[in-house]
Amino acid sequence: MAKSIAGPEIERLIQLLAKLPGLGPRSARRATLQLVKRREQLLAPLAAAMATAVETVKVCSTCGNIDTRDPCTICADASRDHSVVIVVEDVADLWALERAKALNAAYHVLGGVLSPLEGIGPDELTIRQLVERIAGGGVKELILAVNATVEGQTTAHYIMDQLAGMDVRITRLAHGVPVGGELDYLDEGTLAAAMRSRTAM
Amino acid sequence: MVVDETAAQDNAGAAVPVRLTELRLVDFRNYAGLRLDLTGRFVVLCGENGAGKTNLLEAVSLLSPGRGLRRAAYPEMARGGASGFAVRAGVEGAAGPVALATTVRADAETGSFARQVKIDETPARTADELLDHLRILWLTPAMDGLFTGPAGDRRRFLDRLVLTIDPAHGRRAADYERAMRSRNRLLADGCRDERWLEGIEAQMAELGIAMALARRELTGLLRAIVDAADDTPFPKADLVLSSGLGEDALDRPAADMEDALRLSLARSRFADAAAGRSLEGPHRADLAVFHRAKAMPAALSSTGEQKALLIGLILAHASLVSSMGGATPVLLLDEIAAHLDAGRRAALFDLIDGLGVQSFLTGTDPNLFEALGSRAQHLTIRSGTLA
C-alpha cells in the first residue's frame, strides 16, 4: 500500500471519486486536485448540488425512471406521446435513447433483467407495475428495447406472456445491420437476424 | 506455364496462405521474454521434456478465442507469480499484415485476471474478432483418448471445429450454457413461475437448435471433404453426430424443431429438477467416429490407428477451413511425429505441404523431422529460451 500524500479528508474524496465509472485511482487524484484547488468555483457548488440531489432524487412511481420529481420529467411531459411506451432495462438505456432522440414517447424502466444466476426475479423488477400500467389503458404500443442477451430476451418473453390477451401492440427493436455497416464485414448471426427482420420499402 | 500455375491454384481452392511471421511472449509460462522471427511454413520446435515446446504452442493458441489448447486458467499461464502475460504475433493474412495480441492482466483491486485482445493495437470488442485474421487448429497428446473418453471432450472438439468455420458458434454455445444454468437454478430453487421458465426455455430452444444445425452442417461438410480425398496413410473417418435432441432427424424447418425442443423442455421440468440438471438437449450431443475402411468404431481401433484417424480428421478440417474461409488455418501439432513410423511421418509432412498451411511441430528428437530438410525452420528450445 502506498503512503498517503494528503490528509484523510482528501484521501477519502479520492477513494470515493475512484469508485465512479470511467475514473480510476489516477483520474480520481486529478479530479480531486482540481476540486480542492478551485474550492469556491467548483468544490462548494458541487457539494451543494450533491446535497440537493441526495434530498430530492426519487424513483418515478409510474415508469421507474430516476429523477428529482415524481412523476418524472418525462412522464409529466405533455408533448410526448404517452400511448407509446418503450421498455428499457436501465436508466442508462433510457438516456441513450433520449440522446438519440429516437422517439418522442414514454418509458418504463425495468431496473434490470430476470437472472436466476444473480438472484434477480420478477419481484425485483418493475414488471408488475408495467402490467398494471398497461391494464390501466391508454397505451397502444409497447416497444421492448431490452438487450439482445439471454437474460434480456428471456425478460422480453416473460413480459409478452404477462401481457397476453391485453389490447396492446408489442414490438421490439430490430436486430441487424448497423448504420454505416458493410455487409461483407458482418458475422453470419447478425446477417441472419437482419434478414429475418427485413422491412418493406 | 503461368496459365498452368493459376489453374493449379484454383484447384487448391485459391485460399490465401496465412502465417505467423513473428511471435513475442512476455511472462508466459516459463518464458520471461521471447522474440521469434518465423520464416518457414514448417516451424519445428525441439527440446527436452519441460523445455517449453508445448507452452509455445499454447501461446499461439491464445491468438484464438477461448482458453487455449490446455484450457488452463489465466493465473496458471503467468510466469511464476507475474501479474499477467502477453502474447503478440505478426500475421501475414488475407488482408495483408496484421498485429494480433492477447494480454492478460490481474486487476489491481480484485486480483482477478482479465483478457484483452488487440488487433493492430486497437482493442477488440470480443476475442471472436481474432477469427477474422487467424484460425488455429491443434492436436495434442491430451486428445489421444478422444474416441474412448467422455462425450464432453468430443463435444468440445466438435465445437472447436465448428467455431473455425462459423465464428458465431462460440457465442451461441456460451449463451445456451448460460440459459441452461439459469433454468437449472430455477428448478433447483423450486420456482413455480411457469412463464419465467418458458421464457428461458424459449431461449434454450432457439440457441440449441441453431447449435445443433451448425454442428450438423460441419459434419456434412467434413464428410464431403473425406469422400473427395485421395487415399493416404491416414485412414478415412466417418462421422456420425447424435444431436442430443432425442430424435436425430434435424431436417424439419428450424421453427418446428424449436417448438419441439421447447415442449420437450417444458415436459421434462419435473425429471430435470429431480436430476439436478437438464437431461436432454444439444449439450448432450456426441460425435461417433468410425474407421471407414474397416467399418469399425474408432474407439475399438488400436491406439496407433486412433491417432492416425485423428490426424486425418484434422487435415480434412484444415482443408475445409481453407475452402470455406478463403484463407488457410495454422496447425499446432504437439508431439505428433513420435507416434508415427517413418513412412507415415513423411506422408504427413507432404500432406501438410500440399495443404499450403503453416504448421508448428514439436518433438524431443530432431531426427524425427529429417524428412522435412530445408523446408522447415528448426528451432531448439532450452528452459524457456531459444538455444
Q: Where are the alpha helices (DSSP H) in chain A?
A: 8-18, 25-37, 44-56, 73-76, 91-99, 127-135, 150-162, 188-196
Q: A97 CA to chain B: closest CA distance, Å? A: 22
Does residue B326 register a pLDDT over 70?
A: yes
- For residues B285 and B354, give the distance between their C-alpha atoms in angstroms, rounded to a whole number: 33
Confidence grade of residue A35 (pLDDT, cut at 50, 70, 90): very high
Q: Which residue in chain B is spatially nearest to A114 when comparing CA positions? A: B196
Strands B296-297 and B286-291: antiparallel
Statement: the pTM of the whole predicted model exceeds 0.80: yes
**Chain B environment of A156 (Cβ under 8 Å):** 199
Note the maximum CA span of chain B. 75
pLDDT value of position A26 = 87
B246 assigned binding-site residue: no
Interchain proximity A153–B168, CB inside 8 Å: no
Interchain proximity A115–B182, CB inside 8 Å: yes
A108 and A19 share a domain?
Answer: no
Q: Which of A150, A158, A159, A161 would best serve as a mutation to test chain B binding (most B beta carbons within 10 A)?
A: A150
Q: Does A154 touch chain B (CB under 8 A)?
A: yes
- For residues B296 and A134, give the distance between their C-alpha atoms in angstroms, rounded to a whole number: 63
Q: Does B250 touch chain A (CB under 8 A)?
A: no
Report which residue type is found at B197: L
Ordered by where they begin, the domains of chain B are: 17-135+327-387 (3.40.50.300)
A50 and A138 share a domain?
Answer: no
Q: Which residue in chain A is spatially nearest to B177 when comparing CA positions? A: A150
Is there a domain that residue A30 lies in? yes
Is there a domain that residue A3 lies in? no
A90 and A168 share a domain?
Answer: yes
Total number of domains in chain A: 2
Domain harbouring A34, CATH code: 1.10.8.420
Interchain proximity A115–B207, CB inside 8 Å: no
Spell A16-28 as b/e; 16+ CB within 10 A means b: ebbeeeeeeeeeb
Does residue B314 register a pLDDT over 60?
A: yes
A132 and A43 share a domain?
Answer: no
Q: At what angle do helices B168-188 and B194-228 cross, to 10 degrees?
A: 140
- For residues B71 and B92, give the distance between their C-alpha atoms in angstroms, rounded to a whole number: 26
Interchain proximity B186–A117, CB inside 8 Å: no
Is there a domain that residue A166 lies in? yes
pLDDT tens readout for residues A88-116 = 999 999 999 999 988 999 999 999 999 99
A93 and A118 share a domain?
Answer: yes
Nearest to A157 among B167, B191, B199 (CB): B199
pLDDT value of position B3 = 37
Which is more confidently placed, B61 or B326? B61
A145 and A185 share a domain?
Answer: yes
- For residues B376 and B353, give the distance between their C-alpha atoms in angstroms, rounded to a whole number: 11
B11 assigned binding-site residue: no
Report which residue type is found at B180: M
Interchain proximity A161–B189, CB inside 8 Å: no
| Domain encompassing residue A111 | 66-200
Q: Where are the alpha helices (DSSP H) in B31-150?
A: 53-61, 74-77
pLDDT tens readout for residues B53-79 = 999 999 999 999 989 999 999 999 999
List of residues 6+ apart from B2 with CB closer than 8 A: none
Q: Taking residues B141-169, report their average pLDDT.
A: 91
A42 and A87 share a domain?
Answer: no
Is there a domain that residue A95 lies in? yes
Q: Taking residues B306-322, report their average pLDDT.
A: 93
A28 and A109 share a domain?
Answer: no
Interchain proximity B203–A154, CB inside 8 Å: yes
A47 and A77 share a domain?
Answer: no
**Chain A environment of B200 (Cβ under 8 Å):** 116, 150, 154
Is there a domain that residue A1 lies in? no
Is there a domain that residue A81 lies in? yes
Is there a domain that residue A61 lies in? no
A13 and A100 share a domain?
Answer: no
Q: Does A147 touch chain B (CB under 8 A)?
A: no
Strands B31-37 and B96-106: unpaired
**Chain B environment of A25 (Cβ under 8 Å):** 108
Task: Write out the DSSP string of A91-142.
Answer: HHHHHHHHHTT--SEEEEE-SS--BGGGTB-GGGTTHHHHHHHHHTS---EE
B50 assigned binding-site residue: yes
Q: Taking residues B42-47, report their average pLDDT.
A: 94
Contact A161, B193 (CB under 8 A): no
- For residues B84 and B35, give the distance between their C-alpha atoms in angstroms, rounded to a whole number: 18
H-helix or E-strand containing B118?
strand B113-119
pLDDT value of position B9 = 40
Q: Taking residues B346-356, report their average pLDDT.
A: 93
pLDDT value of position B6 = 39
CA distances from B173 to A157, B178, B203, B262 (A): 20, 9, 12, 17
B:118-157 residues touching chain A, CB 8 A cutoff: 128
ipTM of this complex: 0.73
A196 and A152 share a domain?
Answer: yes
**Chain A environment of B213 (Cβ under 8 Å):** none
Q: A57 CA to chain B: closest CA distance, Å? A: 30
Cα-based angle B333, B173, B162 (whole degrees, multiple of 5)? 40
A52 and A86 share a domain?
Answer: no
Is there a domain that residue A192 lies in? yes
